[in-house]
């Protein structure tokens, strides 16, 4: 699965900035929240993509490492400072701790979050990230239920599950970011253009083209912002 995720995001590196406007908004909102925290002396970003969050992190005067599963993605980022590394955020090669470990819309791709998130928490003073919640793309899920169709979108962790993994004292915020599209074909095209179309299983939902062409439609990202200190 990781190799497929890497492949899809690598293919989307050239189109991500044009089609990832919502991801850019989410990263900017997350960066504003990070500004309210005590200034770090070191930051590790996991899942930097094309650098939507990285450019905000670059304003901190500290040691910065940005990383991504896709070498193609991380190589698109241009920063005046910081080290760029291609790596799997679930298997970090670093021995030294960081002040911050952060990520924007990356941790939902973890294969073993129950194992990985506590390990990341141990390696930093502040673990902060945005991730997708269980009500992600709820309009699509409603369509699938209405027409008795299987939903093959990836299952996401709830706030309750994250508290079970990381501790009840973590801070979790919730927000929805809605996109408008002419129809569902347009929406899923946008998902392919950012490389985020790796489903939980290797199957496509069998939907009649007449349904996919209905519109206009709204589909919403359900975003959880987690800060663990």
pLDDT digits (tens, 9 = 90+) for 190-221: 999 999 988 755 556 667 788 889 899 999 99
Q: What pLDDT score was predicted for residue 91?
A: 96
CATH number (3.40.50.150, 3.30.360.10, 3.40.50.720, 3.30.2310.20) of 2-134+155-178+221-228 reads 3.40.50.150
pLDDT digits (tens, 9 = 90+) for 110-122: 999 999 999 999 9
- The whole-model pTM stands at 0.93
Average model confidence (pLDDT) across the chain: 94
DSSP the chain: -HHHHHHHHHHTTTTHHHH-HHHHHHHHHHHHHHHTSPPPSEEEEE--TTSTTHHHHTTSSSEEEEEES-HHHHHT---SS-EEEE--TTS----S-EEEEEEES-GGG-S-HHHHHHHHHHTEEEEEEEEE-TTTTHHHHHHHHHTT----SPP---HHHHHHHH-TT-EEEEEEEEEEESSHHHHHHHHHHTT----SSS------HHHHT---EEEEEEEEEEEE-
Higher pLDDT, 197 or 22: 22
Q: What pLDDT score was predicted for residue 66?
A: 97
């Amino acid at each position: 699965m990781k190799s497929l995720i890497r492949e899809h995001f690598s293919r989307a590196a050239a189109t991500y900035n044009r089609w990832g406007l919502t991801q850019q908004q989410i990263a900017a909102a997350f960066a504003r929240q990070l500004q309210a925290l005590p200034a770090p002396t070191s930051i590790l970003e996991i899942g930097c993509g094309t650098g939507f969050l990285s450019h905000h992190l670059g304003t901190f005067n500290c040691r910065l490492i940005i990383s991504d599963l896709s070498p193609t993605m991380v190589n698109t980022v241009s920063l005046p400072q910081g080290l760029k590394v291609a790596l799997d955020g679930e298997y970090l090669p670093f021995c030294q701790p960081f002040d911050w470990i952060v990520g924007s819309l990356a941790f939902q791709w973890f294969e073993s979050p129950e194992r990985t998130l506590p390990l990341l928490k141990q390696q930093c003073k502040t673990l902060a990230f945005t991730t997708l919640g269980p009500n992600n793309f709820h309009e699509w899920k409603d369509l699938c239920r209405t027409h008795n169709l299987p939903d093959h979108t990836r299952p996401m962790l709830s706030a309750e599950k994250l508290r079970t993994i990381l501790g009840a004292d973590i801070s979790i915020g919730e927000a929805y970011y809605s996109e408008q599209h002419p129809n569902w074909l347009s929406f899923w095209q946008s998902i392919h253009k950012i490389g985020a179309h790796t489903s939980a299983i290797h199957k496509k939902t069998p939907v009649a083209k007449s349904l996919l062409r209905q519109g206009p439609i709204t589909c919403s990202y359900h975003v959880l912002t987690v800060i663990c200190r």
